[in-house]
Chain A
Amino acid sequence: MQIADITEKKIIKVKRSLTLRELLNLFKGFHALPLIPVVDDADKLIGVVFLENLIDLLRPPQTKLFRKIPFMEIDEDSFDLEPIPSMGELIIVDDIMETNFITINAKDSLENAYKTMRLSKKDRAPVVDDANRFIGILGIFDIIWRMFKEKEVV
């Protein structure tokens, strides 16, 4: 059983020049925060957007500093900083994408992929081929499900 067989391939990919406004509109209606692959013109994976990062745009810069002080009570949900309209154009995918992230090679074994994701505490990871071209997203539950399937539990 290879990774490529259980990788979700119908994934929305974006380019690094996409604006924040376009990105938000593209994912309107998603209930969870998806992992968004960023590819270049040759479909090579150059980054990943974690929509969690967008929360930073809603929080005042001081919060991070206070969080290091144990006795300071911080309301993590305080959205004190109101985003301004021009941020929709000022910020693009290139500004918010992570460039340091784990990938799974499509030829890798399920066991190795599982270990890599557990070690890096990620429940999803992008899958690439040998030339770093994006293939899809693998979730840790996809692997677990496949293991149950192999034991004929499902």
Chain B
Amino acid sequence: MKVSDYLREDFCIKDLKSDNKEDAIKEIVDSLDKSGKLLDKDKFISDILERENLGSTGIGNGIAIPHARTNAVRGFIVGFGKSNPGIDFKSLDGNKVNLVFLMGADPSELNLYLRLLAELSKLLMNSYFRQSLLSAKNTSEIIEAIKKFESV
């Protein structure tokens, strides 16, 4: 089980239109609608925002991983959005966020959820991986970069 097993090209947004956290989350969730795993889109958005209110998932280095365990999702989903100008996510280091991975899981999927969250955080520590995502020209290059660094 890897992030790339769940992240499809059409769940990736190369250039986020949104310039703030809430809209960016909504924009990525919109792209996940076609997964068929969103049982209640509005609830998923509000659960993600509620989780953000408990503590920002902007972990620094231009990365945010908004996530929620919620019964608004069936199984596990992950989406990605890139913002070149950056979005204010109230990150730990105070910097704007360029790379947003958004994760959602059914509450019963705790093990899978924690492991993929840990795996993704580890991948994102790698500055070469972050650079590959930032320089990706299209969504297929985003998926390629993830698969390449997952296999390292």
- Residue numbers of A with Cβ under 8 A of B are 16-17, 19, 53, 56-62, 64-65, 81-84, 86-87, 89-92, 94-96, 98-100
Contacts and interface: CB of A to CB of B under 8 A. Distances in A.
B83 interface: no
B39 interface: no
Interface residues of B, number: 27
Contacts of A61: 1-2, 112, 115-116, 118-119
A90 B121 contact: yes
A-B pairs, 5 with minimum CB distance: A61-B115, A86-B59, A17-B54, A61-B1, A56-B114
A19 B60 CA distance: 16
A19 B51 CA distance: 12
A108 to B, nearest CB: 26
Given A17-B54, A89-B92, A60 B107 contact: no
A58 B107 CA distance: 20
B114 A90 contact: no
A93 to B, nearest CB: 9
A65 B2 CA distance: 11
A84 B114 contact: no
A72 B47 CA distance: 38
Contacts, number: 77
B118 A57 contact: yes
B34 interface: no
A81 B114 contact: no
Contact of A57 (B1, B2, B92, B114): B114
Contacts of B116: 61
Contact of B122 (A53, A64, A81): A81
A17 B57 CA distance: 12
Given A57-B115, A99-B107, 7 more contacts: A56-B114, A61-B118, A61-B119, A64-B111, A87-B121, A90-B65, A91-B117
A16 B60 CA distance: 22
A95 B114 contact: yes
A65 B121 contact: no
23 contacts: A53-B110, A56-B110, A56-B111, A56-B114, A58-B118, A59-B115, A60-B115, A61-B1, A61-B112, A61-B118, A62-B2, A64-B111, A81-B122, A83-B118, A90-B117, A90-B121, A92-B54, A94-B69, A95-B67, A95-B114, A98-B110, A99-B69, A100-B107
